[in-house]
Amino acid sequence: MRRCVEKDKSNLYENSDENNTVGNNEQIVEMPLTEIFSFKNHPFKIYDDEAMNTLVDSIKEYGVIHPGIVRPRQKGGYELIAGHRRKRACERAGFKTMKVIINEMNDDKAIIMMVDSNCQREATSFSEKAYAYKMKANAVKRQSGRPSNKKGSQPGVDLVGKKSYEIVGDKVGKSKNQIYRFIRLTELTSELMEMVDNKKIGFNPAVELSYLTKDEQELLLYEIEKEEATPNLSQAQRMKKHSKEGTLTETIMDEIMREVKKDPFKVTFSQERLKKYFPDSATPKKMEDTIIKLLEGWHNRKLREQQQ
């Protein structure tokens, strides 16, 4: 049975079945967890959920089957490129070391490898994808601007003439436009981004809302709380248009947010018809609750009448 086992540090990098060279500048070692540091600005969250519990049980029984990947840090220790969940599982399993591959690489290559090793996970949130795609696209842009080793090649054509969004999209099966729209989400405030992750705001409306200024987004949060509703795509597009024209005032945003959303499965009422029954401070949710309560009372009375 293979396990992550603590070894004497002086013998840590000796070649053995567990510590051996696997390629140029690459070496598999059992490395103390205290020497492994998370990737800078790592966009993927690590959850102690059921999937993590399963991974912990697997590592307890079989050890780390697929080594993590690290690179030396200038400040000492090693930066973890791939294997953040495995490291957490080793910590929870009570291990002191983890099997890793040491690989020398520059910042851009490290970013691309880090993103690629995580984006295939099924449980990846919108925000994780957005920040990961942005990091990789920026790294690809920097790489594409460097001269190729091929004789006669010009800067910017090292990556077969593709734009960075295309290259990122090819890896995850998305178009360059989809990648661009994901990256737009990084312009949202953290509160709005959290609503997207929690599916309170749809992806398409969120992309439109990302064009609002930070002050306008803060005002939108206030309107969402006040109206107990989030904007649909049409509302978000109109907010974006007003923002671009510099006319998105608090009054206009309030008017847009107070509109009754069109839904074929709902009965809608105009504000004029309901105004005399509810105070101006009543939210759509409070109106709905009151109407349902009255309908339930009416329904119960009809049932009693039929039983007489």
Contacts of 101 (CB under 8 A, 6+ apart): 22, 26, 27, 28, 67, 68, 69, 70
Look up residue 46 and give its amino acid. I
Q: Report, as ranges of residue numbers, the positions in the chain whose pLDDT lies below 70.
A: 1-26, 120-122, 145-162, 260-268, 271, 306-308
Look up residue 164 and give its amino acid. S
* pLDDT tens-digit readout, 159-185: 444 688 888 888 888 899 999 999 999
- pTM (2 decimals)? 0.65
Return the number of other C-beta atoms located less than 10 Å from residue 204's C-beta: 13
Residue 186's pLDDT is 95
Residue 162's pLDDT is 67
The secondary structure of the chain, three-state, reads CCCCCCCCHHHCCCCCCCCCEEECCEEEEEEEHHHEECCCCCCCCCCCCHHHHHHHHHHHHHCCCCCEEEEECCCCCEEEEECHHHHHHHHHHCCCEEEEEEECCCHHHHHHHHHHHHCCCCCCCHHHHHHHHHHHHHHHHHHHCCCCCCCCCCCCCCCCCCCHHHHHHHHHCCCHHHHHHHHHHHHCCHHHHHHHHCCCCCHHHHHHHCCCCHHHHHHHHHHHHHHCCCCCHHHHHHHHHHHHHCCCCHHHHHHHHCCCCCCCCCCCCCHHHHHCCCCCCCCHHHHHHHHHHHHHHHHHHHHHHHHC
Residue 146's pLDDT is 52
Domains recognised in the chain with CATH numbers: 1-105 (3.90.1530.30), 106-144+159-187 (no CATH)
* pLDDT tens-digit readout, 101-160: 998 899 989 988 888 887 766 678 899 999 999 999 989 888 776 544 444 333 333 444
Residue 282's pLDDT is 78
